[in-house]
Structure 1
Amino acid sequence: MFGKYKKRSHISDAKIREILKCFCLDLTATNTSKMTNVSRVTINRYFDRFRKIILLSDEKFFASAGEFELDESYFGAKRVRGKRGRGAVGKTPVFGVL
Structure 2
Amino acid sequence: MKKISILFILVILCSCGAVNRQIMGNTEKDLIKQVSIETGCSSEKIIIIEKIKNFGNATYALDVCGKRVVYKQVGSVFMTALEADKIMKKG
Q: Do Structure 1 and Structure 2 share a fold, with TM-score over 0.5?
A: no
If the length of structure 2 is used for normalisation, what is the TM-score? 0.28
Structure number with bigger Rg: 1
If the length of structure 1 is used for normalisation, what is the TM-score? 0.26
